[in-house]
Amino acid sequence: MAAKETTAILASRSEAIERTPAASLLSSVGAACAFILLLETVDHVASALQLPLLRASVACPPPPPAPHAADGGAWSGSAACADAPAVLRAAQRVEGQMVCASLLSHMLCAPLLAVAADVRSRSLALGLSAACKLGKLALLALLVGAAPHALRRGGEPYPSLPLPLLLAAAALGGAGAANVPLNALLGDLSPAAARGRVFTALTLAHAAAGLGSTLLAATLLHLRLADYTFPLAALAALAPLSLAPLAALAAREPRRAPAEPHARGCGPLPRLSAGGAARLLAAGTRSLARLFARSARLRALSASFACIGFGAGGATTILASFSIGVLGWAQGDLEYLALLAAPFAVGSLVAGNVALVRYGAARVACASISTLCVAVSLLVFAPWFPPVVMLMVCLTGSSIILFPATLDLFTEAFETQERAQAQALVVTAVTFAISLAAPCFSSVFDPSATGARAAVPFAIAAIACMLGLGLAVQELAFHPAALADDRRQAYGCMPAVDTT
């Protein structure tokens, strides 16, 4: 009887979504895009400024006058240390630790936010994510403004900012995971026929935020600032503006009836109380574990994206320092070069939206993954032929259709109560892989290396990406029908929990 009631509820919800007025859907997509533009712009700019502010805080003995913009010489990045390789090496080491802390925090918090989004409210998870991003910006601004240049004990060049607080700020920013609940919310609100266009619009918003933030970050980096307090404080002041479109999204979120089962045969939605949070957390963990164990496709995609994340994430972690130390570019040149990806990304989305309808999400995902892996592999030749970095940027922009294709795959394969959790499990696998890659690639990177020695990190990245590509092609290209089977076999539930 419970199963029949659940099926009836899900069927009625699907019918209601199919009857959603176009104007209401358009306003929801507009609010989601505005939320992305505001939140991701400030977050991306802060992330781009993270490595330069670490370089600016490095001090070394004795600090001779460092060449600056007015001198026309090569600037080390720090006003207190003229040894450019030492500054790059010290800042990159701390950057790797911060990226690791951020991604480990994201790996732990993203599934929990996904459970909260599936069980409680999508908008609640979005609000918590925005609060984490705002907290990171505020903490970084306070740290940079209060910490003077100071030589680390022992005379070793090292950023003067307190490492524990830097790691805390990185972990706080990583705890925010807005994409998963936002994708799930738009999947709830969108009719099946419109999901491809909705997710493409969402991808365009991500691309616009990335384009604007890259341009702003590149402009700030070319100023060669010695103090990043004001830019970080301004970003922290702008971040709360994202709460306005979030409130509009929360008003349109479908409300669950108090007695509605949140999964097959699982009783009513639990009510949170002071004593029930731990039990809800344990139940959510078990639900995630069961979903991962039942879906072979979910496990295969997690392994594939983890390999690709290790390679691509590790390569991009050191790419800025590589461009400065090995290629001899100026600070901010790489960010300006990244703007070349914009027209290729737009063309990819326009063509990919047609391809999603004609060829299906699985084939489009395979093609975009192949493009991304080729782009990362080209970096192996960067020490001898720097223009391949430009080609890598263009190919990376062309692979952006992977985002809506993957969202379409998960929307088709999983029910409403599982979409956020399934996405979070894949995100967790990718995040864990990148958290391992960031310190590993930072330790392997040598700003004074040349030739084959400088290409070693990118060779490792290429091998990892090709392994992930092989797994993805095997699962998506040769077994595309398994997605429908996963929807029937992997549909589990979170057991009813007494949280009162």
Mean pLDDT lowest for which of 59-73, 277-291, 408-422? 59-73
Provide the pLDDT confidence category of residue 22 given band limits of 50, 70 and 90. low
Beta strands in 97-200 (DSSP E): 158-159
Q: Is the pLDDT of residue 270 over 50?
A: no
Give burial (CB, 10 Å; 0-12/13-18/19+) of 154.
Answer: exposed
Higher pLDDT residue, 170 or 419?
A: 170
If you average pLDDT over residues 164-193, what whole number do you get?
82
Q: Is the pLDDT of residue 309 over 80?
A: yes
Q: What is the pLDDT of residue 321?
A: 86
Q: What is the pLDDT of residue 266?
A: 43
If you average pLDDT over residues 405-431, what whole number do you get?
79
When mean pLDDT is compared over 22-31, 145-154, 255-264, the highest value belongs to 22-31
If you average pLDDT over residues 376-387, what whole number do you get?
93
Q: Is the pLDDT of residue 173 over 80?
A: yes
Q: What is the pLDDT of residue 308?
A: 94
When mean pLDDT is compared over 147-161, 410-424, 484-498, the highest value belongs to 410-424
Q: Which residues contact 231 (CB under 8 A, 6 or more apart)?
A: 45, 49, 220, 225
Q: What is the pLDDT of residue 499?
A: 37
**Residue 89 and residue 10: Cα distance in Å, rounded?**
55
If you average pLDDT over residues 103-113, what whole number do you get?
80
In 3D space, the residue among 87, 69, 89 whose CA is nearest the CA of residue 78 turns out to be: 87
Q: What is the pLDDT of residue 40?
A: 87
If you average pLDDT over residues 237-258, what whole number do you get?
76
Q: What is the pLDDT of residue 145?
A: 67
Q: Is the pLDDT of residue 235 over 90?
A: no
If you average pLDDT over residues 162-169, what whole number do you get?
86
Provide the pLDDT confidence category of residue 79 given band limits of 50, 70 and 90. low
The predicted model scores a pTM of 0.69
Provide the pLDDT confidence category of residue 369 given band limits of 50, 70 and 90. very high
**Residue 120 and residue 201: Cα distance in Å, rounded?**
26
Tokens, residue 454: 């400088």
Question: What percentage of the chain has pLDDT greater than the value 70?
Answer: 77
**Residue 246 and residue 104: Cα distance in Å, rounded?**
26
When mean pLDDT is compared over 197-206, 248-257, 410-419, 448-457, the highest value belongs to 448-457
Q: Is the pLDDT of residue 335 over 60?
A: yes
Contacts 24+ apart (CB under 8 A), 362-367: 362/409, 362/476, 362/477, 362/480, 362/483, 363/476, 363/477, 363/480, 364/401, 364/402, 364/405, 365/402, 365/405, 365/406, 365/409, 365/472, 365/476, 366/472, 366/473, 366/476, 366/477, 367/401
Q: What is the pLDDT of residue 306?
A: 93
Q: What is the pLDDT of residue 379?
A: 94
Give 44-76 pLDDT, tens digit per residue: 888 888 888 888 877 776 655 444 444 444 556
Mean pLDDT lowest for which of 82-86, 323-327, 355-359, 424-428? 82-86
Q: Is the pLDDT of residue 207 over 70?
A: yes
Find residue 261's DSSP bridge partners. Answer: 268
Q: What is the pLDDT of residue 411?
A: 76
Q: Is the pLDDT of residue 462 over 90?
A: yes
What letters, b where the CB count within 10 A reaches 16 and e where it falls short, cover 263-272?
bbebbebbee
Provide the pLDDT confidence category of residue 492 given band limits of 50, 70 and 90. very low
User: Which residue's entry shows tokens 């995609």?
Assistant: 301
If you average pLDDT over residues 163-191, what whole number do you get?
82
Q: Is the pLDDT of residue 37 over 70?
A: yes
Average pLDDT of the chain is: 76
Higher pLDDT residue, 77 or 335?
A: 335
Give 342-354 pLDDT, tens digit per residue: 888 888 888 888 8
Q: What is the pLDDT of residue 240?
A: 84
Provide the pLDDT confidence category of residue 284 given band limits of 50, 70 and 90. low
Question: What percentage of the chain has pLDDT greater than the value 90?
Answer: 11
Higher pLDDT residue, 24 or 428?
A: 428
